[in-house]
Structure 1
C-alpha cells in the first residue's frame, strides 16, 4: 500500500465518501433530464456541508474533470467558471 500524497489528504475528509457517492456521477444507463437534476441537487446538498469543498473544486479544475459534481459544481458550471477566469 502506498502512502497518501499530502495534497490528496483532503479526499479522506470529503463528505461524498461512502455509500452515497454514486449520486455525484451519472449512472451507466440512460438518465432523464429531471432525474439528472434531482441527482445533482442531492449531490450539491452534500457538498454544501463538506469541510473540503474548496480544495475539491480546485482539484477538479486543475485536472479538468469532465464528469460529476465536484466542489459543489456540475460539469457545465465548472466549464463556465474556467471560462470566466480566463
Structure 2
C-alpha cells in the first residue's frame, strides 16, 4: 500500500461512502484535517531525508484538529508517518511519559 492510499484510508475512511456527519466512530475530526489537502508523501518521509518531517510539521502546526490526530495516533499505536505534528519517535516518547504519569 502506498503512502497516498494509506493517508486517504486513515484520514477519510468513509470517503465516497456518504456524509461525514454520518461517521459513527466519533472521528469526524478527520474531515477537517489539513493533511488531506497536502502531498501524502510529506507525512511519510523516508529515512534518507528528502526534507524529513519539516513540511508535514508545518501543516500540522496550522491544523485545527492536530490534537485529535495526535490522540488518535497515540491510542492506535500508529508506527509510521507524522501524526498531530509528531514523528514516530516523538509519539513513542509521549506514550512513555503518559504511562509514567498514569502509574503515579
Q: TM-score range by the shorter chain?
A: 0.7 to 0.9
Alignment match, 1:21: 40
Larger radius of gyration: 2
5+ residue gaps, structure 2: 1-16, 100-104
- 1:1-86 correspondence to structure 2 within 5 Å: 1=17, 3-26=22-45, 31-32=47-48, 34-35=49-50, 38-86=51-99
Does the residue aligned with 2:35 lie in a helix, a strand or coil? coil
Q: TM-score, normalised by structure 1?
A: 0.82
Q: Which structure is richer in relative contact order (CA contacts within 8 A, separation 6 or more)?
A: 1
Task: Give the Cα separation in 2 of the matches to 1:5 and 1:43.
Answer: 28
* Closer/same/farther in 2, CA of residues 19 and 51 from structure 1, 3 Å limit: closer
CA RMSD in angstroms, aligned pairs only: 1.7
5+ residue gaps, structure 1: none
Q: TM-score, normalised by structure 2?
A: 0.69
Moved over 4 A (4+): none
Deviation for aligned residue 1:12:
0.5
Per-residue deviation, residues 11-63 of structure 1 (Å, max 9, x unmatched): 00001003412210135xxx41x42xx23001000000000000000000010
